[in-house]
Amino acid sequence: MPDDRARDPCATAPLRSRASAPAPLLTPPIAGDSTDGNEIETARAETLDRMMHAWQARFTLSISPAALLLAYADWANHLANAPGKQGALVEKAVRKLTRFALYASRSLTSDCAPCIEPLAQDHRFAAPQWQQMPFNFIYQSFLLTQQWWHNATTGVRGVGAANERIVAFAARQLLDMVSPSNFLATNPELLELTLREGGQNLVRGGLNFVEDWERAVAGKRPVGTDAFVVGRDVAITPGAVIYRNELIELIQYAPATEAVRAEPILIVPAWIMKYYILDLSPGNSLIRHLVASGFTVFCISWRNPPSALRDTSMDDYRRLGVMAALDVVSTICPNAKVHACGYCLGGTLLTIAAAAMARDGDDRLASMTLLAAQADFTEAGELTLFTNESQVAFLEDTMWEQGYLDTKQMAGAFQLLRSNDLIWSQGVRQYLKGERAAMSDLMAWNADATRMPYRMHSEYLRRLFIENDLAEGRFLVEGRPVAISDIRVPIFAVATEADHVAPWKSVYKLHLFADTALAFLLTSGGHNAGIVSEPGHPGRHFRYRERGADARYVDPETWYVTVAVEEGSWWPVWTRWLAERSRDPCPPPDFGAPAAGFVALCPAPGNYVRDS
Residues 6+ positions from 48 with CB-CB distance below 8 Å: none
Position with higher pLDDT, 13 vs 168: 168
Sheet of strand 265-268, all strands in order from the earlier edge strand to the far edge:
565-567, 541-547, 518-523, 491-496, 365-371, 338-343, 265-268, 297-302, 248-253, 239-244, 602-603
**What gap in Å lies between CA 516 and CA 564, rounded to an integer?**
23
* pLDDT, average across residues 528-541: 93
**What gap in Å lies between CA 533 and CA 278, rounded to an integer?**
10
- What is the average pLDDT score of the chain? 88
119 pLDDT band, cuts 50/70/90, is confident
443-495 confidence digits (pLDDT tens): 999 888 888 898 998 999 899 999 999 999 999 999 999 999 999 999 999 99
Say how many CA atoms lie within 13 Å of 444 toward its Cβ: 19
What confidence score (pLDDT) does residue 28 get? 42
What confidence score (pLDDT) does residue 411 get? 56
586 is known as an active-site residue: no
Backbone angle region of 155, left / alpha / beta, with phi > 0 → left and psi within -120 to 50 → alpha: left
DSSP label at 227? G
Question: What is the four-CA torsion angle of 37, 43, 44, 48, rounded to 10 degrees?
Answer: 160
26 pLDDT band, cuts 50/70/90, is very low
Q: Which of 281, 275, 602 shows the shortest CA–CA distance to 448?
A: 275
Question: Cβ(361)–Cβ(389) under 8 Å?
Answer: no
* pLDDT, average across residues 313-325: 97
* pLDDT, average across residues 211-229: 88
Q: DSSP letters along 455-509, please?
A: HHHHHHIIIIIIS-TTTTT--EETTEE--GGG--S-EEEEEETT-SSS-HHHHHT
546-587 confidence digits (pLDDT tens): 999 999 999 999 999 999 999 999 999 999 999 999 999 999
Question: Cβ(303)–Cβ(246) under 8 Å?
Answer: yes
* pLDDT, average across residues 87-111: 92
Question: What is the four-CA torsion angle of 430, 435, 438, 444, rounded to 10 degrees?
Answer: 20
The CATH code of domain 239-378+482-535+566-610 reads 3.40.50.1820
Question: Cβ(74)–Cβ(156) under 8 Å?
Answer: no
**What gap in Å lies between CA 352 and CA 576, rounded to an integer?**
26
Q: Residue 529 in 3-state DSSP?
A: coil
Annotated catalytic residue, options 333, 344, 586, 602: 344
Question: Cβ(170)–Cβ(68) under 8 Å?
Answer: yes
Domain extents in the chain: 239-378+482-535+566-610
Position with higher pLDDT, 216 vs 100: 100
Tally the residues of the chain: 612
Question: Cβ(532)–Cβ(442) under 8 Å?
Answer: yes
Question: Cβ(516)–Cβ(487) under 8 Å?
Answer: yes
